[in-house]
Amino acid sequence: MQGRTDVLNTPVDVSEDFYKLENEYYLAGPVIGFDAATGDGTIQWNYHRWVTDWSFNKMGRHLKKFAEAEIFWKEYEIDPKLRFNISFISQRTIRLRIKTTNVEQVVQPSLMLDGEPPKSNAWSAEDADTKAIYTSAHGSVTLHKTSFRIELHDSSGKHLTSTLGMELLEALHHKTIPFLFTKRVSDYSRSVAASFTMHHDEKIVGCGESFTALNKRGQKVVLCSTDAQSTATKEMYKPIPFFISSRGYGMFVHSSAPITMDFGNEYAGSKVIYCGEDGLDLFLFIGSPKEILFEYTAITGRSPLPPLWSFGLWMSRFTYNSQQQVNEVAERLRFHKIPCDVIHIDAGWFEHGINCDYKFSPQNFPDPQKMVKELKVQGFNISLWQLPYYTQGNPVFKEAVQKQLCVKDANGDLYAEDAILDFSNKAATEWYTEKITPLLQMGIAAIKGDFGEAAPYKGLYASGRTGFYEHNLYPLRYNKLLAKLTKQVTGENIIWARSAWAGSQRYPIHWGGDPEVSDTGMAGTLRGGLSLGLSGFSFWSHDIGGFLDAPEEELFARWAVFGLFTSHSRVHGFPPREPWEFSADFLNTFRSIVEMKYRLMPYIYTQASMCSRNGLPMLRALLLNYPEDETCWHIEDEYLFGDDILVAPIMEKNTTERKVYLPRGKWVNYITKEIYDGGSWLIIKAGILPGLILAKYGSLIPHITLAQSTAFMDWGTVELMAFVTGNDTAKGDFYLKDEDLIVTLEATNTNGQWVLQNKTGQIFTIKAFNEQE
């Protein structure tokens, strides 16, 4: 972190290495051999160094080509000739791989990819002396050979982006980096800077759970997982090396090394991917945001559908610490008729404080199996907190160290003070399996995988690599193992994880870390959720009310609207958290919001199933459904909840109205039943709830009779609410969960009678949104 002390696990900004005068730089030069049929070729990389210059009392610098290096033995190449490859995965996906050495390297199986990507024959090639052009139904890729340059166009011929070489930068006095790689003089390690053009009106979204502005243009994003301890910071629990451009393309950097992405921060006309890896493996996608997410998740995997109960309310605090307390919370939830499916026990179920030894305290939890069984009958599932770090006071510390299960330092000893479990170590995963499996066999429904962002960069791992490559993989290994163990025992796709990397979306659910108890914390949390959804994650949650302090009642109520209209809804943080610990008005408001979600469960589960199949997020930035609307690319304080519901939380204290942007079409206020014209900004007053919920006009949204748990819901009859007037047709989707089938339904009111096109065995009733109860 520039200008700050380099402390343990500070995110690594590799871009700084590309501006050091002492390092060596190799700029992409001519393509000296290329086979258009295979996509294999060779680039000559021209040797440069930074040199200083002087102009009217200002010192500057520029990259200067050197004819020869200070090399004693002349058999080393000054301008090395290195291999690259262009291949095609689908009609919309291109893969560019570039090497910075001719030495054969060990290729390890990728944890980030969901299997080896296929190869597509849908691209035709035209090869000439100076360039090669590949074309599919959706776009084209041009390789310029005189000086290596890649151009990307869509099917209409519109220019999307191009690599930036030195020949395009000579007039810029090196305000940006051209396409090159560097060799560090400190250890001769290599890293790549992939420089691309950026158009004047281009907007960039994605990069994981980023709490900064949704549009990343003008930002420098450091992609290294860290314990952010905030949702109002540029640091991230879940960085993802993937982004989408408003221009109609996206990119994914297939690497676990530290990555920094500069989106016009140093120079407005370029974006530079600084990749710590000693080579480049870059996937490029052509299409709309939805099409790009579909392509990206086709290669990195999609989120499987979590169990129905997980979409209900999760009640928690930091922390319940006894069996009696958990049972009392369950009793009070049912007494106050607050629907709930999960009670989460955080770091309070151990005998030795928060030292995780994977055993219930015999004193505080005398019969945990009985507790789990009895609560299950009442419609509650139990979730448990744990983590893979062990302090010296932890009963398992000595065992983990003696069995060599932890990350080591350069001397082969324990790294730092805590024992950090090494998930690249087979013995460690087997040991961890022995700790987690009995809990799941007891009936625990979900394991919370807290932390995971602190794998030391300089640590040594059983994989044979250092933390430079393992740090960002640690969350992925952690997520994968917990999900595998849960699936083996319960058959369900569910964990509760904080950290992530590319590919972690295959192991839902992830939650948004530790937000401040403030409007700022709430706003940053929403931005993080939107950005993560634009990075391939379908399901997400956050701590309703903020984590780091006791919530204020007014903020808690506003946050509850946002939190319950998120795929997964958990109340968690410092106490009090239970709604009956606040005023009667708050209790009633909170209950009403929860009841609304539970009545909407058929819609929610249908949308979840659709998202799981297509790689789309439940909590969705407006730009995904309305990419042609320029305004939607800037909206970061409202969102779509699935396809048909728009949510605009109240983001300021003591406010009952807010400015809302509604995309094209008509929208219906779910509470007041008012109809608004879209394509404009409106000031709308909240109704009886402290937030705005709107349904898309023309939608047909399924509801179900209220129950106190999803386990008690009667799916025999589902009510369809038609958000239309007169004889207009309402249309919607419904998930037949027993058949794992999504059907599209249409309903029209003809002469006062609803006519439904229903070819299923499901029983539906229909009513208009404005009919009286």
Closest CA to 138 of 198, 94, 197: 94
The owner of tokens 């994981």 is: 208
The owner of tokens 């952010």 is: 228
Question: CA distances (Å), 753 to each of 194, 380, 512, in order?
Answer: 62, 40, 46
Q: How far apart are CA 356 and CA 677, in angstroms?
A: 54
Q: How far apart are CA 566 and CA 620, in angstroms?
A: 10
Question: CA distances (Å), 345 to each of 293, 368, 424, in order?
Answer: 35, 12, 28
Q: How far apart are CA 240 and CA 261, in angstroms?
A: 11
Active site residue 453: yes
Radius of gyration of the chain (CA): 27
Q: Which amino acid is at 443?
A: G
Is 260:223 a contact under the CB 8 Å cutoff?
Answer: yes
Q: How far apart are CA 400 and CA 432, in angstroms?
A: 10
3-class SS of residue 125: strand
Q: Which helix (H) or strand (E) holds 682?
A: strand 680-685
Q: How far apart are CA 159 and CA 140, in angstroms?
A: 10
- For 771, the token pair is 């009919």
Among residues 235, 450, 516, 543, the one annotated as catalytic is: 450
Work out the number of other CB atoms within 10 angstroms of the CB of residue 765.
12
Q: How far apart are CA 298 and CA 281, in angstroms?
A: 17
Quickly list DSSP for 335-364.
HTT---SEEEE-TTSSSSTT---S---TTT
Closest CA to 206 of 529, 569, 543: 529
Among residues 13, 492, 514, 578, the one annotated as catalytic is: 514
The Cα angle at residue 70 between residues 65 and 71, in degrees rounded to 5: 120
- For 604, the token pair is 């929610």
Q: How far apart are CA 312 and CA 297, in angstroms?
A: 26
Is 465:106 a contact under the CB 8 Å cutoff?
Answer: no
**The pairing of beta strand 496-497 with beta strand 446-449:** parallel
- For 584, the token pair is 């009667």
The answer for 142, left when phi > 0, alpha when psi is -120 to 50, beta otherwise, is: beta
- For 317, the token pair is 């605090």
The Cα angle at residue 547 between residues 543 and 550, in degrees rounded to 5: 120
- Mind telling me the catalytic residues? 450, 453, 514
